[in-house]
Structures are given as structure tokens and as C-alpha cells.
A and B are shown apart, each in its own frame.
Chain A
């Protein structure tokens, strides 16, 4: 047990107060000349031992009451996170804070968010541990390392308010591990505050292993201890709102917005077990506010095709839909922007017309009503003079670009564009982003139908669907494959996306700035594969590449709030937001940004609404073999941290001692008479 306010110990001499009072009391008795001594002596003699004992107990009870009161004032801590760090001198504490939207939920029974509550606990724990160095990593922006004077100083700057972005905990741990290793300080610990959301933690991520390895080696080989404070409980009555689509329609003089929105509830029923529920939803557009009721059945209620009349002059603009405030404030509002339907343009440069056609068809197929897809065919042979202005996605089936063209494609990628390189009929030398083409090779007859053995199903172009259904990559028939060469020391990471039996790469990614270059070793035409005829895999590849690029380039109006540097560019300014933001958090807060022409609505990622928490074992498993201490703060235990309970115990002790004192003081005569005889 330790004290958060050890100054209270200076008052410890007060413990002697009952003893002093007792002694004074003994001296201050009155004197009576007493004739009936014989009875007194009789009574006194037989009760002397008992009286001594009682006096002693009385004194002990009083002393205990004072002591317990003093300790209560000293804010004792026992158990829990804070207490466990007590007494261990730490050189370095890296505090990873999950500031994702879901951490903005109130802890049960407290008007305090999980984030604020956790930070307060961390602050208390730091007061006890008093490490030489405190590093804070905001998991919504894991690349940045903060060195605040104290947690309270950070909280004063709004750090204790959740953002609307999601967290990348593995990246934050990576940064932490890197920092600790670099600093080489003595005893280091990593503390993390998180609600352990599956998507934020992403336990499948291969980087966990590396992080655990790295952290095991620090602190002179002793390894860094990891302390997790988790808040796995989710408020069942929490409602969240999300706009699925919004489009502007005009008919003659009138104009209207057509909204599809969905309200979700964490639990399928309300407190009384009722599945149906009506929720008022406020829609704010251009300063006007209307309210519509949405009926929920079970976990979800949808409003489809709701029309809101707007000023016909309003060509583009923004608005928000809002729910009544509940325990998680961050998901009660969803921003949207509208304007003329955006155009996403794909550029195709193909030496084989068949390949060009398949890519065009795939790219043009509408994925939704809000976007128009256009395809620009670049003439083969003009590789040296490409113009990628306005292009989002580039498919390149030609010898790799050189000189000017290579620089242009590279610029395009770094800005967020995605390029998919397909092997030309005759692979030439050259390389792009550390990758180049090898030679075409035939796939053995018997292996053709299940040639693809490995692919990344957790992320990227071949990821499984949102519900976990895998893409049928393994069923793709491959007839011939052009090998992908790694060229030179790559300046950027080369990430294998899919591979054949025996380790040959089928698809490799090379990240370039905010965009990426993908090399795919086969073609969507019948000589090479059945990607054209069995189009699912290829469609997914193209559309995911399109989405990825469109999101990165900012050509979509509805975006997910994130720490993307793009939003920090000067051209963006905040048109509307949940709260006034510091510049550093622009982009991570829900709201509407504008560059003077277009509006971009930023909202929390869908995963933040899902609130699927990982069990404790999954967290410790990710970090195995590190020493992980998990402190789970259950919302059900109102009051939460053990910290409070300990002082409560001491208050009870005070009370108990006082009651004991009272009982001991009660005159014996109160016992029924005649018992003695």
C-alpha cells in the first residue's frame, strides 16, 4: 500500500492524541472521600484485569480511528495499476494512449470518459512511480512522440478528449519499442490505455511479434514490462448514427438532399427488454434544422431516401445528423458534405488491348451511386509522355516507365495515387520503386488450378471481406506467371501480397509516399489466367485500389478522420466541427474541412461503432513473451479504480473504530440487572 499524498504522514504524531487525552483524563479525575470502599475494592479487584483490557482496547480503537483517518487523507492506494508500480523506480515510462472515438464513452456510473478516467489513473500512478522520463504516444497518431511535463499538462490541452479517428496500437507499440531501444535507458515500462477494440489492436498484425521481440531485448535484456489498462465494457444503450449516402437532387426550382442513414444500438434491446425504439434524429443543413424519427428494431434502424429540402442556390455544402446525447458523445453526430457528383478517373496504359478492356470494364463498373468512374485510355507507345492530372488509379501494362515518365508516376504515387503494374508481353529491364519484371514462366499443368498458396487476407487488395469471407484467390487458375524481381536496396518496404507455391511472388506492393505501386505477375486474359472470366478477384483488386487511392487523394467527400498529414496542409480549413480544435488534431476530429471549393466531411471509422473488445488473453498473447499486467476497469464497478475503494476501506475502518469505541464506552450497568447474582 502506498500513499498518493504522503504529506499526510506529517500529521502522524496526531496518533498520539488519544494517548495524551487518555493520560490527561487520568490526571483530571475528581476526588471523592468514599466510605463504601469495601464494595468498591471488591468490584475493582475483580474487574481490574478486565478494566485494563478495556482501557487498552479503547485506546487502541481511538488510535486506530485517528490513524485510519490520517491514512484516508493520504489517499492510500492498494491493488490496481497505481499500487503495483509503487516502490519500483522506473527510468522511463512510455504511455500509449488510445484516443480513438470509442474511448470517449463514459465509464459506467461516472460522468467521465474512459479516456479521461484512464489518464487520471495514469497520472496518479505516475505520481507514485515518478519515472525519470515520461513519453506519451497518441495511438491515433502513432508516429509522433510527445514529451509532456505531466499528464495533467496534456489534459489541460484537451488530450483527455477522444478524437474521431481510430487508433493503431501496434504502430504505437512499434514507436514505443523503437524509442525505448534507442534511448537505452535503464528500467522502462510501457503503459497503455485502451478499450482494446479489435480493429484498433488488430491482433493478426505481424508487427506484434516484432514489437514483442524488440521490447524483450530492452532494459539490459530484462525486457520492458507492459501494463495495460483496458475498458472492455460497452454501454448497451449507446446509439450511434451514420450517413450511408447523401446526394443532391434538383427538379426545376426546388432542390433537396436525399439521405440514407442508419442508427445502430450496441444492444438489441433497451433496458426494459423492448426491441423497438423510436429515436429523434436532427438533420442540420445550411443552418436549418429538421427532426425526423427513426424506428429501431433490434440493433439497427434505417432511414432510406429521406428528403430534406434545401436552398436551390446551394450547389454544395455540408451538414450533420445528430442523435440526442448519450454515454458516448463521439458517435452521436455524423457530418456529411454534398456537391456535384465526384468523378474518379482511371488511366489505363495497356499494350494488350484485351487487358486494357478488362481493366476498363472493371474500373467503370459502378460501385455506388455517389461516384462517377471514368476511364482514360493512354495510348500505348506514349509511355514517355504520360499526363496523370486528375487520375486516381493507373493501370500500366507496358515496359516500366523511365525518366520523365517514371518521375511523373512516382509523384503521382507519393501524392496518394495507386499504380498497378501488369507484365508486358515481352518483359524488359528497368525497375520502379525497387521492383522489376523477370521472365514469363508457365505454371505446371497440375498446379494451375490452385497455384496461389499464400496471400494477405488481413489487409490490402486481397483482404477478406468486412464479414470475414475470404476472396477466392486460391481458386484462381494461373497458366503463366511473370516473375517479379527485387531490384537493389529498396528505399521503401516491399510487401508480398500474394505468392505461389515455392515462394515465387505473384503480387508485391511497394509503398511510395501515401500511395503505392503494385506489381501483379499475371494478366487478366485467357492465356495467362482466368482473372478476366472469373472476375471477382480482379474486380476486388481494381476497386480496392481505386478506393485506396481516392481516399488518399481526397477526392471523396466523405472521409474517415485520421492523422493523415494531408489535413494539416494549409489549404484546408475547418468549416464545422464538434468542437474547436487545435491545428495538430485537425483531421482527427469529426467535422467538415474545406479548401475553399469543396467540402470534405470527416467522421469516425465504421469500426469505432462496432465496439468489439478483445479478451485479456488476446492482448497478452499479442505481446507474448513480455510480462504484461492487465488492469481491467469494468464499468459495472461504479467508481472503477481500486484507488477509490481503498480510501473507502479506511473510512470504514474509522467508522468501525469509532463504533468499537462507543461500545467499549457504554456503561456496564446497561446490562440487565440480576445477571450478576
Chain B
């Protein structure tokens, strides 16, 4: 098993990605609660070296944290607060539905959307573990929800890779359900990275994202699509078979293209507004896109927006 996992990990991790993005930190934009002191801001004020602020003492505050010198000088009760650093808990949620099996008709590449999702997830997990954060995976597969808890051990990567490689995408999407589940189960605030084509009802997705946000998690969503899907480049009559079990559709692409594209654009703008409302970092990722540059763009965007204050 270990050998298998190692092979899966080797397949998923491209050294080029690490070479390119290894120096970019994975930064949480919102404060996280971690068990280990790390590079991420913790919501807890406490024993640290970086002074944050004074505030009035309120009953219940730890008396040990009262600033006695200020009390001595001003006869008022102040509590001195410090920034606390913590480690990040990264939860990678991968959509394992049938639609993720698509690999493109126009020679986009050998990867399916699921495979790309796994490679992105693995790369990000690797980065997180390298910087001492914990990473875990939840896969919304057909009939089962695979949950690998977050660990900081480097060897945990192999476990993640092995699980991701084991799962064959198929069946209807269960992403919304799984996201709700993740929101509930993940106790501490975490960075949730969702890898999916997000081909689902925007309403359900909105609820799931809101739920995550409510629970204090920070969410990034990688919408993985192929250019076939975004541009609908078909010419001859085609029978479209639903990998998620729906009725097949026989269509002349020239006749349905405009309506398809209109529906696509509507969906896209719906997703964009949901992402805005639920504070989700939504990134459209194409199947033919280079993984390294995709990850790099993500990391850089985060580092730029949400670095340490």
C-alpha cells in the first residue's frame, strides 16, 4: 500500500510546481485557530511577542494578563493583548462526481477534470505541509465520502495521494451535501479548498458556502472546466450522454450553441455573485492550464490580498 501511495504521490506531484511555487507561502486571509504556533494569525490573543492592543478588563479575563504597570500608574484595569500565530488547517474538498471524468474533446490533454483537481489539491497540500500546516482531504465520491483528517506529517501526503488515486469519479454530484458536512465536522476554523466543476444548482451551492463562512472557515473554490464546456466547440450532431445518470441529449451543436452559452454565462455570473456574497475565492481553472501557474496565481493572489497585517 505504501508503494502504491508513493507512486500515486509521484504521479500527482510535479517537481516543477514545487520549484516554481515553493517559495510562495500559503497564506490564510482570515485568522485561523491552530494547535501549533505557525505562520498564520490566530484568533486568540495571548502569549506571543507581538503586541496587539490594550483593552478594558472585563470580568472573566485571565487576571494573569492584566497589565499591572498600567494599573499601578492609572488605577485602571487594562489587559495587554498580543497577536498570536497559529498553524493552518487545510481541508481539500474534491468533487468526485461523473462530470469530473471529462477530459476534453479537442486534445486539451490527457488529464480528466478529476485528475487535475487531485494534482492541484496535492500540490497545495504539499505546500501546506511543507510550511508546517495540516492538510486533509474530503472526496465527494459516488456512494461514499472519503475523509482523511488533517495532519502535519509530511508522510501524510502519501496517504492523501493514495486516497485521491483510489477514487474513481462517477455518479451524481454530492458536493453540496459534503460541503455542509465539512462545515459541521471541521471544528476549528480552517481553509477549505473546493475542487469541482460546480455544475450544480447555484442555490444549493450558496447555502453550502454560507454555511462554511458561518462556521468561520475560509473557502477557496477551484472551478475546473474544459474549454469545450465553456465555449461549446462542437460541429457535428452529437449525442451528449450524462455521466451522472441523466437522460442523454441528441443535439445539433449549431442549433443549441447560443442557448448553451447563454446558460453557461448565466451560471457563471450566478457563481460569481455567490462567491462575492460568501467571501469565496473563486478561481476558474481550465483543463489545459498549467498546474504550476495555476497554483502560483492562487498563492500570489492570496499573499497579495491577505498577508500579515
| Chain A contacts to B: CB under 8 angstroms | 25-26, 28-44, 46-47, 50-51, 54-55, 665-669, 671, 673, 676-677
- Indicate which residue in B99, B236, B255, B257 contacts A36 across the interface (CB closer than 8 Å): B99
Residues of chain A within 8 A of B101, CB atoms compared: 33, 35
Q: Sample 30 A-B pairs with CB under 8 A, ordered by A number.
A: A25-B237, A26-B237, A28-B237, A30-B236, A30-B237, A31-B239, A32-B238, A33-B98, A33-B101, A33-B102, A34-B241, A34-B249, A35-B100, A36-B229, A36-B260, A37-B242, A37-B244, A38-B199, A38-B263, A39-B229, A40-B256, A42-B260, A43-B259, A44-B256, A51-B252, A665-B254, A671-B258, A676-B258, A676-B262, A677-B265
Alpha-carbon distance A218/B243, docked complex (angstroms):
84
Given A29-B236, A31-B241, A40-B256, 12 additional A-B pairs, CB 8 A: A30-B238, A32-B238, A34-B102, A34-B242, A35-B100, A38-B263, A39-B261, A39-B264, A43-B257, A51-B251, A51-B252, A51-B255
- Indicate which residue in A30, A35, A40, A47 contacts B243 across the interface (CB closer than 8 Å): A35
Alpha-carbon distance A39/B249, docked complex (angstroms):
11
Alpha-carbon distance A671/B257, docked complex (angstroms):
11
Contact assessment for B241 and A33 in the assembled complex, using a CB-CB cutoff below 8 Å: yes
- Indicate which residue in A26, A28, A31, A42 contacts B259 across the interface (CB closer than 8 Å): A42
Contact assessment for A39 and B267 in the assembled complex, using a CB-CB cutoff below 8 Å: yes
Residues of chain B within 8 A of A47, CB atoms compared: 255-256, 259
Contact assessment for A31 and B238 in the assembled complex, using a CB-CB cutoff below 8 Å: yes
Judged by a CB distance under 8 angstroms, whether B105 is at the interface is yes
Contact assessment for B197 and A36 in the assembled complex, using a CB-CB cutoff below 8 Å: yes
Alpha-carbon distance A41/B242, docked complex (angstroms):
10
Contact assessment for A33 and B258 in the assembled complex, using a CB-CB cutoff below 8 Å: no
Residues of chain B within 8 A of A37, CB atoms compared: 99, 199, 240, 242, 244, 246, 249
Alpha-carbon distance A36/B260, docked complex (angstroms):
9
B27 to chain A, nearest CB (A): 32
A676 to chain B, nearest CB (A): 4
Contact assessment for B105 and A39 in the assembled complex, using a CB-CB cutoff below 8 Å: no
Residues of chain A within 8 A of B244, CB atoms compared: 35, 37
Which has the most chain B C-beta neighbours within 10 Å: A30, A32, A55? Answer: A32
Alpha-carbon distance A671/B105, docked complex (angstroms):
24
Contact assessment for B254 and A667 in the assembled complex, using a CB-CB cutoff below 8 Å: yes
A587 to chain B, nearest CB (A): 75
Question: Which 4 A-B pairs rank lowest in CB-CB distance, beginning with the nearest?
Answer: A35-B99, A43-B259, A667-B254, A34-B240
Question: Assuming A29-B238, A33-B243, A667-B257, is B262 touching A38 (CB within 8 A)?
Answer: no
A119 to chain B, nearest CB (A): 54
Binary flags per residue of B89-124, CB closer than 8 Å to A gives 1, else 0: 000000000111110010000000100000000000
Alpha-carbon distance A34/B252, docked complex (angstroms):
14
Contact assessment for A35 and B199 in the assembled complex, using a CB-CB cutoff below 8 Å: yes
Contact assessment for B256 and A43 in the assembled complex, using a CB-CB cutoff below 8 Å: yes
Nearest B residue (CB) for A36: B229
A471 to chain B, nearest CB (A): 87
Binary flags per residue of B279-293, CB closer than 8 Å to A gives 1, else 0: 000000000000000
| Chain B contacts to A: CB under 8 angstroms | 98-102, 105, 113, 197, 199-200, 225, 229, 234, 236-244, 246, 249-267
Alpha-carbon distance A676/B101, docked complex (angstroms):
30
Alpha-carbon distance A575/B105, docked complex (angstroms):
89
Question: Assuming A33-B101, A51-B255, is B261 touching A669 (CB within 8 A)?
Answer: yes
Which has the most chain B C-beta neighbours within 10 Å: A26, A28, A43, A44? Answer: A43
Nearest A residue (CB) for B255: A51
Contact assessment for B259 and A44 in the assembled complex, using a CB-CB cutoff below 8 Å: yes
Nearest B residue (CB) for A39: B263
A641 to chain B, nearest CB (A): 44
Residues of chain B within 8 A of A28, CB atoms compared: 237
Contact assessment for B254 and A669 in the assembled complex, using a CB-CB cutoff below 8 Å: yes
Alpha-carbon distance A667/B254, docked complex (angstroms):
5
Contact assessment for A669 and B257 in the assembled complex, using a CB-CB cutoff below 8 Å: yes
Alpha-carbon distance A33/B245, docked complex (angstroms):
11
Residues of chain A within 8 A of B266, CB atoms compared: 677
B79 to chain A, nearest CB (A): 54
Contact assessment for A40 and B102 in the assembled complex, using a CB-CB cutoff below 8 Å: no
Alpha-carbon distance A182/B265, docked complex (angstroms):
88
Nearest B residue (CB) for A54: B255
Nearest A residue (CB) for B200: A38
Nearest A residue (CB) for B234: A32
Alpha-carbon distance A51/B265, docked complex (angstroms):
21
A549 to chain B, nearest CB (A): 89
Alpha-carbon distance A29/B248, docked complex (angstroms):
13
Alpha-carbon distance A43/B241, docked complex (angstroms):
15
Nearest A residue (CB) for B237: A29
- Indicate which residue in A35, A44, A51 contacts B98 across the interface (CB closer than 8 Å): A35
Residues of chain B within 8 A of A40, CB atoms compared: 240, 249, 251, 256, 260
Alpha-carbon distance A29/B265, docked complex (angstroms):
27
Alpha-carbon distance A511/B31, docked complex (angstroms):
137
Contact assessment for B264 and A36 in the assembled complex, using a CB-CB cutoff below 8 Å: yes
Alpha-carbon distance A43/B267, docked complex (angstroms):
13
Alpha-carbon distance A203/B253, docked complex (angstroms):
73
- Indicate which residue in A26, A54, A55, A668 contacts B257 across the interface (CB closer than 8 Å): A668
Nearest A residue (CB) for B261: A669
Nearest B residue (CB) for A37: B242
Nearest A residue (CB) for B225: A36
Residues of chain B within 8 A of A55, CB atoms compared: 252
Contact assessment for A29 and B259 in the assembled complex, using a CB-CB cutoff below 8 Å: no
Nearest B residue (CB) for A25: B237
B231 to chain A, nearest CB (A): 10
B98 to chain A, nearest CB (A): 7
Contact assessment for B240 and A32 in the assembled complex, using a CB-CB cutoff below 8 Å: yes
Residues of chain B within 8 A of A34, CB atoms compared: 102, 240-243, 249
Nearest B residue (CB) for A35: B99
Alpha-carbon distance A245/B260, docked complex (angstroms):
92
Contact assessment for A29 and B239 in the assembled complex, using a CB-CB cutoff below 8 Å: yes
A297 to chain B, nearest CB (A): 71
Alpha-carbon distance A51/B254, docked complex (angstroms):
10
A379 to chain B, nearest CB (A): 111
Which has the most chain A C-beta neighbours within 10 Å: B246, B256, B267? Answer: B256
Contact assessment for A43 and B243 in the assembled complex, using a CB-CB cutoff below 8 Å: no
B199 to chain A, nearest CB (A): 6
Residues of chain B within 8 A of A51, CB atoms compared: 251-252, 255-256
Which has the most chain B C-beta neighbours within 10 Å: A25, A37, A665? Answer: A37
Nearest B residue (CB) for A43: B259
Which has the most chain A C-beta neighbours within 10 Å: B98, B237, B258? Answer: B258
Nearest A residue (CB) for B239: A31
Residues of chain A within 8 A of B100, CB atoms compared: 35
Contact assessment for A668 and B238 in the assembled complex, using a CB-CB cutoff below 8 Å: no
Which has the most chain B C-beta neighbours within 10 Å: A25, A28, A40, A47? Answer: A40
A450 to chain B, nearest CB (A): 94
Nearest A residue (CB) for B243: A33
Alpha-carbon distance A669/B263, docked complex (angstroms):
14
B13 to chain A, nearest CB (A): 26
Alpha-carbon distance A32/B241, docked complex (angstroms):
6
Residues of chain B within 8 A of A677, CB atoms compared: 262, 265-266
B250 to chain A, nearest CB (A): 6
Alpha-carbon distance A676/B263, docked complex (angstroms):
10
Residues of chain B within 8 A of A50, CB atoms compared: 255
Nearest A residue (CB) for B241: A33
Nearest A residue (CB) for B242: A37
Residues of chain A within 8 A of B243, CB atoms compared: 33-35
Contact assessment for A29 and B250 in the assembled complex, using a CB-CB cutoff below 8 Å: yes
Residues of chain A within 8 A of B234, CB atoms compared: 32
B162 to chain A, nearest CB (A): 25
Residues of chain A within 8 A of B246, CB atoms compared: 37, 41
